[in-house]
Amino acid sequence: MSRFNNKILSLALKAKGFNNYSPSLKKSGELALIKRVLNLGIDEVFDVGANIGQYSEIFLKYSNARTFAFEPMEESFNRLLSIQLFNQRMIPFNFALGAGEYEADIFYGSERHHLATISPEVLQIPYVERNNSKSRRIKVRTLDRVFLEIQHQYNVTKLDCIKIDTEGFELDVLKGASLVLTEIKPKAIILEWNLHQLFRGITLLQIQELLPDYQAFRVLPFRKSLYPPINIVILPSPS
């Protein structure tokens, strides 16, 4: 009965928000999550690790928010530029965000593949190693420095939501956002949590310690609600 029992266990864990990844944001529960976040009153969004703009397009479709999208891969960035042609609320930037201002190697397979990562540790994960056989040099900047520049250039006075999907680099992005997190205090932070963090030795506790005024939740699949902590995580400010 082991195969049957493993299947039941897998389905039960997915129902609790573990391993609930799906190419469809509706099936994974992420679409329902974004709509719930928008109810908080979202005008300015940072989409960090935007890839080809799947998240950005949802924010643009269901709200009047401006979306500042950050993507270091050239072809994915060009896709963001094409979105901008039809919607000027999309503002893309062709670099990564991290804990400092420097250059780094990014590992990838195809230009638009969502597994591109700055973290060499996650190449130990078999499915990542198979897909990320190439590398190139990219620019990394801090969210704090970029926000200060955007404030003046685009007349931004607040940052309501930060979405981070950087294949194991999420903690680094948050470390480079200490000013924004303590003084601007976004209403919600959405980040991916998977095997990549485990290979880098990063725990949810480390992220929670950077965000003492926030509470963590798992996203449940199939339009369900939120569940206290992992996988995709929303960290909303308490009311």
What pLDDT does 167 receive? 84
E strands, the chain, are: 44-48, 66-70, 90-93, 96-98, 102-108, 134-142, 161-164, 188-192, 217-219, 226-227, 232-234
pLDDT of residue 237: 41
CA gap 36, 205 in Å, rounded: 24
Given this model, what pLDDT does residue 123 score? 62
Note whether 143 and 182 are within 8 A (CB). no
- Give the pLDDT confidence score for residue 230 in this predicted structure: 46
According to DSSP, the residues that pair with 74 across neighbouring strands are: none
pLDDT of residue 160: 96
Q: What are phi and psi of 231, to 5 degrees?
A: 45, -110
> For 40-67, b where at least 16 C-beta lie within 10 A, e where not — what string?
eebebbbbbbbbbbebbbbbbeebebbb
Q: What is the pLDDT along the chain (239 residues), one digit of tens a residue?
A: 888 888 898 888 777 777 777 778 888 888 888 988 999 999 999 999 999 999 999 999 999 999 999 999 999 999 999 999 999 999 999 999 999 999 988 877 765 566 677 666 666 666 666 666 678 899 999 999 999 999 999 999 999 999 999 988 899 999 999 999 999 999 999 998 877 787 788 888 898 888 888 888 888 887 666 776 644 455 444 43
Helix, strand or coil for residue 174? helix
